[in-house]
């Protein structure tokens, strides 16, 4: 396959960025999108050009690092996958592919396609945990009865990998789906009810401090989420927040 790549290049957070165009030949349809970028970078290095910086780690759809906006879509044209799971067979020979970083005030660009998503970490630190004393004998896993329905819903919420696609695709750059998933995975379980009030108040407060926008229920976040996190979690978080507020 022959491709034309229009890639956002930005030296650092303070510099002005712009799109650079790179032709690329010999791309296999079986390559992942990140493997295609590896090929491009090898060519750039051989020519003495600074390679394109992009985030990656596991390349198995687990870590959520590969946050790229491809042809106007978070993680590209496929559904239910991260960028590292996107394959070049989703594109056609001769295509022009526009690649840019996730755009959000709370996700400042570090370099090229790499953004700083530490705002998500700070939201987690604000309340995305349970305080349990594990010294001595640990409690048996089945000591607290939990219905299968609640356990399944909690597990579905916990599959969120914090990639930020929900923020990047939302017209308001809202982090509500991410925060709602982290609140829900504990709110559905008895172990999480002890700190439920403080958790939702603190996490929502931190989300607002980070500069994320509000949710207007357009649903784009659920569509682009590689793990299919449901909008029902946002409704649950709103209920938790209302109860905590009163």
Mean pLDDT on 194-209: 97
Identify the pLDDT of residue 243: 96
Mean pLDDT on 187-193: 92
Tokens of 196: 């439920």
pLDDT digits (tens, 9 = 90+) for 1-36: 999 999 999 999 999 999 999 999 999 999 999 999
Say which CATH class 117-132+142-245 falls into.
mainly alpha
Tokens of 115: 């953004």
Tokens of 244: 């905590």
DSSP the chain: --EEEEEEE-SSSSSPPEEEEEEE----TTSBHHHHHHHHHHHHHHTTPPPPP---SSSSSSS----EEETTEET-SSSS--GGG-BGGGS-TT-EEEEEE---TTS-EEETTEE--HHHHHHHHHH-S-----SSSPPPTTSS---HHHHHHHHHHHT-----HHHHHSTT-B-HHHHHHHHHHHHTSHHHHTTHHHHHHHHHHHHHHTT-B------HHHHH-TT---THHHHHHHHHHHHHH-
Identify the pLDDT of residue 134: 66
Report pTM.
0.93
Backbone angles phi, psi at 28, to 5 degrees: -80, 140
For the chain, domain boundaries:
3-111, 117-132+142-245
pLDDT digits (tens, 9 = 90+) for 108-124: 999 999 999 999 999 99
Q: What is the mean pLDDT of the chain?
A: 95
Identify the pLDDT of residue 228: 96
Identify the pLDDT of residue 140: 77
List all residues 6 or more positions away from 53 whose beta carbon is below 8 Å from its beta carbon: 110, 111, 112, 113, 114
Identify the pLDDT of residue 111: 98
Identify the pLDDT of residue 145: 87
pLDDT digits (tens, 9 = 90+) for 52-92: 999 999 999 999 999 999 999 999 999 999 999 999 999 99
CATH of domain 3-111: 3.10.20.30
Q: How confident is the model at residue 136 (pLDDT cuts 50, 70, 90)?
A: low
């Amino acid at each position: 396959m022959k491709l034309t790549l229009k890639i956002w290049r930005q030296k650092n957070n303070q510099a002005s960025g712009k799109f650079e165009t790179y032709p690329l030949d010999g791309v296999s349809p079986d390559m992942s999108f990140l493997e295609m970028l590896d090929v491009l970078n090898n060519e750039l290095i051989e020519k003495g050009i600074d390679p394109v910086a992009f985030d990656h780690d596991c390349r198995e759809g687990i870590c959520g690092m590969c946050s790229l906006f491809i042809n106007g879509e978070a993680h590209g044209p496929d559904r239910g996958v991260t960028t590292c799971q996107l394959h070049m067979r989703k594109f056609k020979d001769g295509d022009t592919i526009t690649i840019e970083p996730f755009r959000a005030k709370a996700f400042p660009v570090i370099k090229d396609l790499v953004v700083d998503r530490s705002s998500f970490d700070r939201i987690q630190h604000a309340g995305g945990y349970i305080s349990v004393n594990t010294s001595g004998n640990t409690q048996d896993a089945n000591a607290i009865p939990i219905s299968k329905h609640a356990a399944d819903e909690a597990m579905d919420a916990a599959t969120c990998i914090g990639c930020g696609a929900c923020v990047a695709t939302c017209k308001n750059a809202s982090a509500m789906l991410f925060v709602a998933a982290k609140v829900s995975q504990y709110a559905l379980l008895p172990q999480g009810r002890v700190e439920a009030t403080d958790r939702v108040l603190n996490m929502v407060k931190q989300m607002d401090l980070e500069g994320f926008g509000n949710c207007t229920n357009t649903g784009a976040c659920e569509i682009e989420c590689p793990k299919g996190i449901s909008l029902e979690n946002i409704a649950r978080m709103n209920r938790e927040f209302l109860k905590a507020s009163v």
